[in-house]
Amino acid sequence: MQPTGPHPAAAIVGEPTGMQIIEGHKGCYEFTTEVTGLEGHGSLPDQGVNAVEYAVGYIARLLELGEHLRANAAAGSPFEPPWATISVGQIEGAIARNVIAKQCRFEWEMRPLQAADADYVLRNVEAYTRAELLPRMRAVYAGANLETTVIDTVSGLEPMPDSDTVALASALTGGNGTGLVSFGTEAGMFQDIGISTVVCGPGSIEQAHRPNEYVEHTQLQACLTMLGRLTDKLAA
């Protein structure tokens, strides 16, 4: 929303927060990594480059970095969990158990608390790829490759003291407190361009991205009440 008059721009991003006002969340960086090897018969593994095995090596390094982030979580972090996280999702590759895999592709993400977390992971895994994985792959087959593509980056939302938008959302919802979440939204992008932003919407993230998603009727009614108050405020 863009208030009239001298007031600064404000945004309320609708995501499932149980109608609680959220003033901060982690960022979200999404990647696809593709490994190209050399196929051959499974009985002669040294004559090929197994893309699945090198993908496993890359993933193992990601898991090590994830443990490092966990072990070095900032004291007093208000997030849950209180550290930057790495998660590997879909993996696909190979055509049969007795064929050296030529291709492997996997999706992964990280949820940094700050940009420095993301920089640490990306620099480390890139150095590992260049110094360890690619030389071993190309010693067998010069055309072997391992490439990571950035699919999307979503900025985190940083809590701002004395936020007018928090005050506005509190008036609209009747809430008197704020919180933080670990999932990402578009809110950080609005904040990046100078728009004061909070997240608030019906439903729970605990029911999101799973079978039989739902939003309770009471949550929908609370959201409609907030929107009605917003309409009245804008009309006034």
pLDDT in single tens digits along all 236 residues of the chain: 444 444 568 999 999 999 999 999 999 999 999 999 999 999 999 999 999 999 999 999 999 999 999 999 888 888 889 999 999 999 999 999 999 999 999 999 999 988 889 999 999 999 999 999 999 999 999 999 999 999 999 888 988 888 999 999 999 999 878 999 988 899 999 999 999 999 999 999 988 888 989 999 999 999 999 999 999 988 98
Answer left, alpha or beta for residue 177, where phi above 0 means left and psi between -120 and 50 means alpha. beta
What CA–CA distance (Å, rounded) separates 91 from 80? 26
What CA–CA distance (Å, rounded) separates 84 from 66? 8
pTM: 0.80
Burial of residue 175 (CB within 10 Å: 0-12, 13-18, 19+) is middle
Q: What's the pLDDT score for residue 123?
A: 97
- The residues facing 103 across adjacent strands are 36
Q: What's the pLDDT score for residue 3?
A: 44
Q: What's the pLDDT score for residue 37?
A: 98
Q: What's the pLDDT score for residue 80?
A: 86
What CA–CA distance (Å, rounded) separates 131 from 110? 23
Q: What's the pLDDT score for residue 76?
A: 83
**What is the helix (H) or strand (E) element at residue 50, kind and residue range?**
none
Q: Which domains are seen in the chain, by residue range?
A: 10-26+156-235 (3.40.630.10), 28-154 (3.30.70.360)
| Dihedral in degrees, nearest 10, Cα atoms 174, 176, 179, 184 | 30
Q: What's the pLDDT score for residue 236?
A: 84
Q: Cβ contacts of residue 45 below 8 Å, gap of 6+? A: 100
Q: What's the pLDDT score for residue 175?
A: 84
For residue 93, give the nearest of 83, 84, 82, 105 by alpha carbon. 105
For residue 140, give the nearest of 44, 43, 34 by alpha carbon. 44
What CA–CA distance (Å, rounded) separates 99 from 95? 7
- The residues facing 25 across adjacent strands are 157, 181
Asked if residues 10 and 196 have their Cβ atoms less than 8 Å apart, the reply is yes
- The arrangement of strands across the sheet holding 28-36 comes to 85-93, 103-111, 28-36, 145-154
